[in-house]
Chains A and B, each alone.
Chain A
Amino acid sequence: MDLNDLSSDTTSLSWNSRSSLSTRQSHPVQTNVKTGEKLRPNLFVANPQIRKLSKEMAIPSSSAYLFLLSFFTLSLFLAISTAESESELELVADLRALQSESKSGVIHLDDRTIAKFLTSPKTPRPYSILIFFDATQLHDKTELHLRELRQEFTLVASSFITNHNNSNTKLFFADIEFRESQSSFHLFGVNSLPHIRLVGPTAKSLKDESEQMDQGDFSRLAESMAEFVESRTKLTVGPIHRPPILSKTQMGLIVALLLISSPFIAKKIFAGETLLHEPKIWLCGAVFIYFFSVSGAMHNIIRKMPMFLVDRNDPNKLIFFYQGSGMQLGAEGFAVGFLYTIVGLLLAFVTHLLVYVKNAKAKRVAMVFAICVSFWAVQKVIFLDNWKTGYGIHGFWPSSWN
């Protein structure tokens, strides 16, 4: 074994052993291997007893030196090999410890731990790691759905762990953040998010030999992640346990409340005293439903559109109105719905309520105000509609008039 090789191996080994073997002290290799080259001078200079011994034992000093060297290399070799197999188990134990420490079983890795668990150990490693690449600064971009995917990833991880009764050592779930560990991102060659990679036991080069999940598979969230895991690692994830919307106790409480209160409610309905009998409540409810539907709120809910977008060119400006038919932003929809409702209600107000006002001047002012506001609102909506869709609506005059 060449000394250079030895030094390189042992430096990496010393790094490993320094982190995981904190309970071990005075490892015979440790102190000697800080700088491997110092082995020989130590022997010659700092151990006069050995020289004495060799002299007393009447062994020639060179052979003593050779004997000691071979002894040390042999012990080194043994130590390394046992340390290697030992440290594999230690790594797995470390991973399991990290997993149990973390919330819901997703281990948070950074540059250091990536090196410890992935780049340093020799292949074949006894485990594979499924890594979710994240970046907190991009959480606000809704088209990436990073928060949602992260939650789904957590669900897959926790389902996997519970389905294997906490005795799993083959597959670990981890995530890694961009700001903390930029070099790891570079190591993996990740430059777009969302990104999920599976690092198998035999993958040497993290960039080329780790398996990436397809972009198109993200749409089915946890189910597609589970399928990816199962197809590449031949380990079953099992059923995914999603938390129900209402827990059992909440549901039970609601049902009990309903049952208890139903006779009282029925009696009140027959007596005609409830809030439901007031027509004004129904009117407000009706106008609200109308406002909700017409402003395209269902579209926003289904497509999960944000209230406003940040202008790409100028980060300080906010875009409230989306140009282009068929899609809309949240605030835009509500603004337009509000304008519709205002005009309709003003018309009703003028026709019915204004008649009761006694003061003639006030009536006139109110009517003029209503007319102006309605006119402005209608014009605004028409202008917005033309700007958004780009249609130029015109009448059809006979061509001989042009």
Chain B
Amino acid sequence: NSSTSDPLKPFKLKTKQQELLIRVSILCLVYILAFITRLFSVLRYESMIHEFDPYFNYRTTLYLTQHGFYDFWNWFDYESWYPLGRIVGGTLYPGLMVTAALIYRLLHFLRFAVHIREVCVLTAPFFASNTTLVAYFFGKEIWDSGAGLVAAILIAVCPGYISRSVAGSYDNEGVAIFALLFTFYLFVKAVNKGSLAWGLASAFGYFYMVSAWGGYVFIINLIPLYVLVLLITGRYSMRLYVAYNCMYILGMLLAMQIRFVGFQHVQSGEHMAAMGVFFLMQVFYFLDWVKHMLSDTKLFQEFLRITVTCAVAAGGIALGVGMASGYISPWTGRFYSLLDPTYAKDHIPIIASVSEHQPTAWSSFMFDFHILLFLFPAGLYFCFKRLSDATIFIVMYGLTSMYFAGVMVRLILVATPAVCLISAIAVSATVKNLTVLLRSKNKVAQIGSTKGTSSAKASSKASLDQSQPFQKNGAMALLFGAFYLLSRYATHCTWVTSEAYSSPSIVLAARGAHGNRVIFDDYREAYFWLRQNTPPDAKVMSWWDYGYQITAMGNRTVIVDNNTWNNTHIATVGRAMSSYEDEAYEIIRSLDVDYVLVVFGGVTGYSSDDINK
């Protein structure tokens, strides 16, 4: 109640403003939290790039900042895959490098003289924070702003996402998950609003995703599947038509600008679903128009039946002709092994041997998701209760990504945003119900007034209130239980981040005999030795795991590296490494190798050295 002589009156906010303040402050805190929880390894060791793949990304970003965009786009790298070389411009996804280079340029423009390495190390946490913002808006779109806030908090600390976006993990996924969620949010917004502007924005979001990661195939298959489900369940509408057409055509044209993708959108079997659904949408629009013109329903039914049969038959024939003539290529091994998971094990051993591609046991799910696994089915139920175009989308995204996460451990990353969003719906709805119960006592006195929507519920709850005096206590207990669970979740996530996901694989730590921590920097010392003590044109042979690191830090030519695009070359190196010395020497001389690098960890008990591989 406002009083006339209150000295604090200018500072007292109305309810709406209070709510806005709370929301903005929560979002700011979540933004900062998402950033700082990823900084463990920077604090423990130093600011350096982790693992193997990020070293290649770092080297290309360095080249980009030094030589400019056109030289980078046309770069032929003669220092890796000797003697074949590698066409870098045409075989990578440039999104990450261009983003980091732009941030670097921006900071230099503002006269912050940072090294490119610092920018690279901190790119992933920065984009993780941005992802929390996008999650908030997405949650708001699907359910309401409360769910959006909970989604932002959950995704800020979820270990499934932290594993690939820790500071120093300068890899495509750090940027790609942001692009994925952003594209999905823009598309759902376009479908909800039916506006061309949002469709255009989603096309550009898709372009950014295509430039960032090979996993864009998930988007180009999930969105057509979603459209198909909407069509089947009778939710065709003009909004859907506008949104999908705009996104598909513009997105396809933009995606072809990336040389690595090329013409795959019209030639590869993996992208044919999108094209098929596009043509189906035109058929639906045509049918709708005919229905609008015709007044005779019986005639229309006949016409409908004939048209649909003809359209499906024509589509099937076109697809058959395309595949038989070889114009449309079949699904590649990497993606086919997701549909038929036993395929890689039997036919492509190199895919099956990568540690990230192993199938997931339930303990891995528990490790990465913890409490969210319990909330997911509840969230599913809530979504089904309030079915709309947006909730159908999130349910489909959640289920397909959970299935693929079961096939391959690495894809838990793709499932994380969906799981966080759906669990957020469950948490938000439950907490909302409980707090309504708690606050219902206040509304008993106002039962006569015509206050908005909650009055009916409040009146019924109030009448129940008198018959169940324990209801409020029950609600209080449940609320405390819910908050306790969420706090356990936060503890679990922090522990997991600190212990499991913050180790740069290039620097190893072990416990000494007295429990003191011993740090091994052997990798970097070895690469630096190579850099200082070998001639500049020396060629180094090692197992393909270390290729990127040798070229980036040792600055020497390697025979094979992590790109694994030529299996025969890798097989030659493998044969050289596992034959007897006189045979191996012949092979090595034929490859023109000067130095051989072998990793041995026997004395320290390092388990992933070359002998074990």
Instruction: Mark A residues whose CB is within 8 Å of B.
Output: 220, 262-263, 266-267, 269-270, 272, 276-277, 279, 282-283, 286-287, 289-290, 292-299, 301-303, 325-328, 332-333, 336-337, 340-341, 343-345, 347-348, 351-352, 360, 363-364, 367, 371, 377-378, 381, 385, 388-389, 391, 393-396
**Which residue of chain A is the closest to B377 with respect to CB atoms?**
A344
Cβ-defined contact, A394 with B361, below 8 A: no
Q: Is the CB of B467 closer than 8 A to any CB of chain A?
A: yes
Residues A299 and B361 in contact, CB atoms below 8 Å apart? yes
B-to-A contact residues, CB < 8 Å: 232-234, 301, 304-305, 308-309, 312, 341-342, 345-346, 358-367, 373-382, 384-385, 387, 395, 398-399, 402-403, 405-407, 426, 429-430, 433, 464, 467-468, 470, 474, 478, 481, 485, 491-492, 494-496, 498-499
A4 to B515 Cα, complex, angstroms: 79
| Cα(A388)–Cα(B387), bound, Å | 39
Q: How far is the CB of B480 from chain A (nearest CB, A)?
A: 12
Docked pose: A347 CA to B373 CA in angstroms: 13
- Chain B nearest CB, measured from A32 CB (Å): 60
Residue among A302, A389, A394 making CB contact with B359, cutoff 8 Å? A302
Note all chain B residues with C-beta closer than 8 A to A394: 491, 495
Contact A294 B402 (CB under 8 A): yes
Partner of B381, one of A302, A345, A371, A391: A345
Total CB contacts across the A-B interface at under 8 A = 168
A267-B305, A277-B234, A381-B366 are contacts. A340–B406 as well, Cβ < 8 Å?
A: no
Whether the Cβ atoms of A364 and B380 lie closer than 8 Å is: no
Known contacts A277-B233, A351-B430, A302 near B402 by CB under 8 Å: no
Given contacts A301-B341, A394-B495, whether A328 and B426 have CB atoms under 8 Å apart is no
Q: Is B362 within 8 A of A296, CB to CB?
A: yes
- What is the CA–CA distance of A212 and B312 in the complex, to the nearest angstrom? 56
Among residues of A, the one whose C-beta sits closest to the C-beta of B491 is: A395
Q: Does A364 lie within 8 Å of B359, measured CB to CB?
A: no
Considering residues A299, A364, A391, which has the most beta carbons from chain B within 10 angstroms of its beta carbon?
Answer: A299
| A residues near B359, Cβ cutoff 8 Å | 296, 298-299, 302-303
> What is the bound-complex CA distance between A326 and B359, given in angstroms?
9
Interface class of chain A by DSSP = helix
The CA-CA distance from A292 to B312 in the complex, in Å, is: 32
7 A-B contacts, Cβ less than 8 Å apart?
Answer: A263-B308, A266-B309, A286-B380, A289-B403, A325-B361, A344-B375, A393-B495
Closest chain-B Cβ to A164's Cβ sits at a distance in Å of 27
Least CB distance, A254 to chain B, in whole angstroms: 15
Please classify the interface of chain B as helix (H, G, I), strand (E, B), loop, or mixed, using the class held by over half of its residues: helix
Given contacts A283-B381, A385-B363, A388-B363, contact A290 B304 (CB under 8 A): no
In chain B, what residue has the closest Cβ to A347?
A: B378
Q: Please determine whether A344 and B342 come into contact, CB atoms closer than 8 angstroms.
A: no
Question: Which residue among A340, A360, A378 has the maximum number of chain B CB atoms within 10 Å of its CB?
Answer: A340
From B346, B363, B403, B464, contact of A326 by CB (8 A): B363
B384, A289: Cβ atoms under 8 Å? no
Contact between chains at B380 and A290 (CB < 8 Å): yes
Smallest CB-CB A-B distances: 8 pairs: A344-B377, A348-B381, A299-B359, A293-B406, A298-B406, A344-B378, A296-B362, A347-B378
Asked if A294 and B378 make an inter-chain contact with CB atoms under 8 angstroms apart, the answer reads no
Is A389 in contact with B495, judged by CB distance below 8 angstroms?
no
A367, B379: Cα distance in complex, Å: 19
Known: A301-B342, A364-B470. A325 touches B380 (CB 8 A): no
How far is A301 from B478 in the complex, measured between Cα atoms in Å? 39
Expressed in whole angstroms, the minimum distance between the Cβ of A33 and any Cβ of chain B is 56
Q: Are B433 and A367 in contact (CB under 8 A)?
A: no
Given A294-B365, A294-B373, A385-B363, A344 contacting B380 (CB threshold 8 A)? yes
Report the Cα distance A367→B433, complex, angstroms. Answer: 14
CA A337 to CA B377, docked complex, whole Å: 11
- The reply to whether A287 and B367 contact each other, CB–CB distance below 8 Å, is no
- Determine the chain B residues whose CB is within 8 A of the CB of A344 once the complex forms: 374-381, 426
Contact A337 B308 (CB under 8 A): no
Q: Which of B232, B305, B346, B374 contacts A276 (CB 8 A)?
A: B232
B384 touches A296 (CB 8 A): no
Determine how close the nearest CB of chain A comes to the CB of B294; give it in whole angstroms: 14
Q: With both chains docked as a complex, state the minimum distance between the C-beta of A296 and any C-beta of chain B, in angstroms.
A: 4
Check B377–A328 contact: CB distance below 8 A: no
Whether A302 contacts B232 in the complex (CB less than 8 A), given A283-B384, A340-B373, A396-B498, comes out as: no
What residues of B have a CB within 8 angstroms of the CB of A388 in the complex? 363
Given contacts A286-B399, A345-B381, 15 further A-B contacts (CB under 8 A): A266-B304, A266-B305, A276-B233, A282-B384, A290-B380, A293-B405, A297-B406, A299-B406, A351-B430, A352-B381, A352-B385, A367-B474, A371-B478, A395-B491, A396-B495
**Contact, CB under 8 Å: B360 / A298:** yes
Assess A263 versus B373: contact at CB under 8 Å? Given A290-B399, A360-B468, A393-B491: no
* CA A282 to CA B232, docked complex, whole Å: 13
**In the complex, A276→B230 CA distance in Å?**
12
Distance between A265 CB and nearest chain B CB, rounded to angstroms: 9
Contact among A266, A287, A293, A327 with B308 in the assembled complex (CB-CB below 8 Å): A266
Partner of B382, one of A272, A333, A348, A363: A348
| Cross-chain contact B232 with A287 (CB below 8 angstroms) | no
Given contacts A293-B405, A301-B341, A395-B491, contact A345 B468 (CB under 8 A): no
A293 to B401 alpha-carbon distance, docked (Å): 10
Cα separation A268 to B398 with both chains bound (whole Å) = 28
Cα-based distance from A269 to B470 in the complex (angstroms)? 49
